[in-house]
A and B are shown apart, each in its own frame.
Chain A
Amino acid sequence: MKNFGAVRLVDSVIQAGLCCGCGACINLCPYFQSYRGKTAALFPCNLETGRCFAYCPKVELDPDALSRFLFKQPYDGSPLGTVRSIHISHAGAKVKRQAFQSGGTVSALVYFALRSKRIRGAVLTGRDGFLPVPSRVTRPADVLRQSLSKYAAAPTLSALNKAVAEGCRDLGVVATPCQAAAVAQMRSNPMEDPSFTDPTALVIGLFCTWALDFRRFEAFLAERVPLPDIVKIDIPPPPASVLEVYLKEGKREFPLDEIRALVPEACLYCPDMTAEFADVSVGVLEGRPGMNTLIVRTERGEEMVREARRLGYLELDDLPDENREHLMWAAANKKKRAILQCRETGRLNGEEGAACLRLSKETVERILSQGKETSSCHS
């Protein structure tokens, strides 16, 4: 991958409207900061190469290089990425039952990883009022307080960068697909720093079809409900096709078609639904509220899941073929839409420093032959 600096990052990503606000460029230096869901370059940095560009998942993303680095195998464009095993899961008896978004698998894994000292801290997404914010926890009990989906992008990785700068290692990260890709790029030491060591011990990916632009989402809701009264937000599986906003008293529903208008452009370029560059990936299980889908991708992910299950933190079951096929169908469609979007805008293997994605011709063809062009799918 060709590395550039902040000038190209600003041009190719931020100004181009492709920033997903993941926070990978923040807290590395004084130039980039996040404010209310948006990443901004405060002042110009003219270095020719920089970590900001190297970590950014929205420019010069080379899935093949990442796959070879993480999984020691080439990237072939298959819908779910590299999969060691795939399960139905939910939090086990060792984890206090509470208001999880669905099965509580993510909370259970982070909780277990902290308790078993596999990780010494975890970077999650918390909430400041209505604003999703990065949050770093070190005590297992604190994990369970962050357990709800946020739906709007958060600069979670800024907390990872901060922790790394402070010298923390053995960190766990809960990441959306774009964030997981950024973490993978970071772990590959793209600046070839001789003193670099991988600061992560566990990357848990979250399934994601799209996120919402925080500022637009907030403005949308602010016109319709009292923001301080929001307790939980959910998008139930099809055929509901609504966004549910649970208030202190009662619930409001908004058609997803209205909500989709609030999706940032960055998400249209994202080929990854299942966080393919994580150790394990977790999503909802369609048709079974209270259950998750869990994909295990790496050896260290596998070890963690096995032990979490053995010690009662996690319950696993086999994923029925029907669910697996549906998941693959949805993931393949997202991939295909993103590839077409990138290609149409010249950002597939395009100009150096401006292209979103680098994929071989064969991989592109394989992706385009998978799934069906459809827009009705979300999870």
Chain B
Amino acid sequence: MSFLIDEGKHIQHLLMGNEAIVRGALEAGVNVATGYPGTPSSEVIEAFSKVARERNLYVEWSTNEKVATEVAAAASFAGLRSMCVMKQNGVNVASDFLLHLASSGTRGGMLVVTCDDPGALSSVNEGESRLFARLLEIPLLEPGDFQETKDIIPWAYDLSEKLGIVVMLRSVTRLSHASGNVRFGPLPGKAARAKFSYHGPLLDPETGPVISMIPARPEPTHGRQQEKLKSAQEMFESCPFNTYTGPAEPELLIITSSICSLYSREAVTILGLEKRVGVLKLATTWPLPPKLLTKHLASTKKVLFVEEVAPTLEDHVKVIAAESMSEIGATTFYGKKSGHVPSVGELNPDIVISALSRLCDVPHQPVPPEFAREAKLLADRYSPARGISFCPGCPHRASFWSITGALQLDARQGFVCGDIGCYALAAFPTGFSTNKTLHSMGSGSGIASGFGKLRQFGMDQPVVAVCGDSTFFHAAMPALANAIHHRSPFTLVLMDNRGTAMTGFQPHPGSPTDVLGDPAPALDIEKICVSMGAKVEVSDPFDLAKTRKKLNRLLESTEGAKVLILRQACALSPERRSRKKYEITVDEDRCRGENCGCNRICTRIFGCPGLIWDREKKVSRIDDIICTACGVCPDICPAGAIIKKEVS
């Protein structure tokens, strides 16, 4: 049984932020939780799945974030409490439906949880989802620590139900993935009954149909939505999660939210500025509570905004400051616009310390310069230069080996439109720098569909798109349908590694089990593509010769969209990790090393981390510890020096 459903007095656990979200939702009596995997959000649904049976929850990994939001909305319409969870990019996907949902209103409490990734540690961008709250006109909450993450959720559900509107809750990587002590509250009973009422009048929020807007009449729904937002603003004036620490009249006021409030407190403490600097930590960041802010702005002449990614608080507070100019008097604002806080990447206590030490004229030397010099010297000398890389035995390395080879042999300057998944790394040397575009989920196929139609303008470069099995269901299918219907002659290489591998093997509609591990109908990707009308080939990416041959044939065909499914499980998957199929060794006498005729193709180009270049002996070696014995490198070696022996 998961500790997340521990009950009793004075229970305290060390929880990840994402687990605190789950405990908070359980204490609020959540019934339905949905999501699409994406770092740093994935642990939320995984933790829900572990308590789903005991707590009578419905939990699913949905096909994409829009569907996840729709499934959660249905629960709300039927009077249940629901949550849909995604990373920041997922909000973009869900936003179309969210705009409608904000307008139609909700019944049972509904939270959309977004875990943003400042610094894009596990993302292709550091998109800012807070701005969506303003765009969608829905309330936004940002808890500032682990306890508060748990505590704010029941409050958020009450808010959602009181106003009949979906509420956004935003976390960030360092809150979702770091851990802190959380005191548990009581869990409610499990009884919940779902029923969708629609017999009432058209615009009745509790009993009528749930519709987003009456054409050409925005007043009833949009007007009502704005009223809700106004009520939220009033509630936010006294929200217990907006806190202030510091002197009554600080010399400098830090306005911050989320994990940055911890960085701010730490910086103030380290610099000993507790008596000079105040920290206003806001949990209700859209709409901002103007009275609370005016009160604090009036107490100081200098304000520093500490927040990651977009200057969201900074911009919105400045509007309030302008509106209450007469009360707050002359105030100077510091933050991203003044250059005191960087406008890209994650923040950390050091960055806040450096801003504070400048503004408060407190000298601070985080690291003695001679130590910093020495540390850099040692790091440069002893840490090997390592590029970002596919794992040892990754099928993507083999797939891109064949894709690159096929495109080079084809010799018409063909290229690959990349997509979201581990294979996005093929923009770099680990995938032989083959991907030439990279955008959002499914966009590789959409862009490729477009490139394929440029023949009438003289473009004869063959176009390949790649996507994984999960990405295929998420967003590539509409693009493929488009390409097939419009006879766009591109080749989709569908790299089926049996799960949403990059985020930790979450199931998708093509998987034989669901999030709880129960058997589920697995949609057959090959049959789907065939019935959509694509010419479909299947190959094992570890069979390099066959894969490349098939790919070259597909590239030469100018007739519409083609699909090459490359099936091979992820090297980290349980089925691959459990045993080594071969014993791989290097015959040192045969290894051509750096000589003309090889020039270290295995370690210099193929670059599997399981292959080591022995500088002394000038031969390649196998790192038995990490080699997964995929058996591909023997086929790369031109000298037959890498030998595979089947393990009985």
Contact = CB atoms under 8 A, between A and B. Distances in A.
Interface string B611-630: 00000000000000000000
A29 B594 CA distance: 11
B605 A51 contact: no
Assign chain A's interface to a size class.
Answer: 20 to 34
B408 A30 contact: no
B416 to A, nearest CB: 15
Contact of B638 (A30, A36, A50, A191): A30
Interface string A38-50: 1011111111011
B598 interface: yes
B408 A49 contact: no
Interface in A34-75: 35-36, 38, 40-47, 49-51
Nearest to A49: B596
Nearest to B410: A35
Given A35-B552, A43-B605, A29 B408 contact: no
Interface in B357-374: none
B132 interface: no
A29 B599 CA distance: 9
B411 interface: yes
Given A35-B411, A40-B408, A42-B404, A30 B596 contact: no
A29 B552 contact: no
A247 interface: no
A31 B401 CA distance: 12
A42 B636 contact: no
A146 interface: no
A33 interface: yes
Interface residues of B, number: 17
A31 B601 contact: yes
Contacts of B432: 43
B596 A50 contact: yes
A201 interface: no
B375 interface: no
Interface string A298-318: 000000000000000000000
Contacts of A47: 594, 596, 599
B597 interface: yes
B211 interface: no
A28 interface: yes
Nearest to A19: B411
Given A30-B636, A38-B409, A38-B411, A46 B596 contact: no
Indicate the member of B404, B552, B598 with the most A CB atoms within 10 Å: B598
A38 B407 CA distance: 12
B512 interface: no
A46 B599 CA distance: 8
Contacts of A41: 408
Contact of A42 (B409, B597, B598, B599): B409
Given A42-B404, A43-B432, A29 B596 contact: yes
Contacts of B119: none
A45 B596 CA distance: 9
Contacts of A28: 596-597
Indicate the member of B404, B596, B636 with the most A CB atoms within 10 Å: B596
A43 B404 contact: yes
Given A35-B409, A38-B409, A40-B411, A191 B404 contact: no
8 contacts: A29-B596, A29-B601, A35-B411, A35-B552, A38-B409, A42-B405, A44-B605, A47-B599
Interface of B: 404-405, 408-411, 432, 552, 594, 596-599, 601, 605, 636, 638
Closest 10 CB pairs of A and B: A35-B409, A30-B638, A40-B408, A38-B411, A43-B605, A50-B596, A29-B597, A42-B408, A42-B405, A45-B599
Given A35-B411, A42-B408, 17 more contacts: A28-B597, A30-B638, A33-B409, A35-B410, A36-B409, A38-B411, A40-B408, A42-B404, A42-B409, A43-B408, A43-B601, A43-B605, A44-B605, A47-B596, A47-B599, A50-B596, A51-B597
